[in-house]
Amino acid sequence: MVDAERFYAAKRFALGCVLLWVLWGLAGNLVGFTSLIVKSTSDSRAIVAAQNQTLGASELEAQLKKMNAFGLVARSRTDLRCETRTGAWDFVCNFLPTPTTSKVRVQFGVVVDRNRTIFEISRLCPMNTALPMPEKLLIVR
């Protein structure tokens, strides 16, 4: 009986040592895995932050002049002005379509995608009137 108790005690001790050895090995792997997750998360945040750098109003104005939006904004003295907005349109811009004959400004909305390029431009509307809602569906901004 005493030999059987010693055998079971030795067996429990050996199994306990093996269990501690396995747990110690798993703990090391868990620490390594956790550091990989933390590094991956911080790298992902850096990528998202770089993608979320927004287009400035002056950069948008330069793009609109380069593409000569509405066939009018690249003309001299049109006085194109864009402002950042937080509604359906990312920007609202206005200009003088006929600066030599009239001082009446018109406005239009602009949606910019995550690549900092123009995604949609609204139709021209008189100043201080509501712009139409964007027609294109932009899924990820």
Per-residue DSSP letters for 92-131?
A: EEEE-SSTTT----EEEEEEE-TTSSEEEE---EETTSPP
pLDDT number for residue 137: 67
Name the pLDDT band for 49 (thresholds 50, 70, 90). very low
- Give the closest residue to 121 by CA, choosing from 130, 112, 129: 112
Encoding tokens for residue 54? 């927004």
Which of 19-23, 87-91, 130-134 is predicted with the least confidence, judged by mean pLDDT?
19-23
> Across residues 36-49, what is the average pLDDT?
55
Amino acid at 85: R
Taking the C-alpha atoms of residue 64 and residue 124, their distance in angstroms, rounded to an integer, is 14
- What's this model's pTM, rounded to 2 decimal places? 0.60
Taking the C-alpha atoms of residue 93 and residue 110, their distance in angstroms, rounded to an integer, is 8
Amino acid at 23: L
- Give the closest residue to 60 by CA, choosing from 113, 104, 19: 113
> Across residues 76-94, what is the average pLDDT?
93
Would you call 83 helix, strand, or coil by DSSP? strand
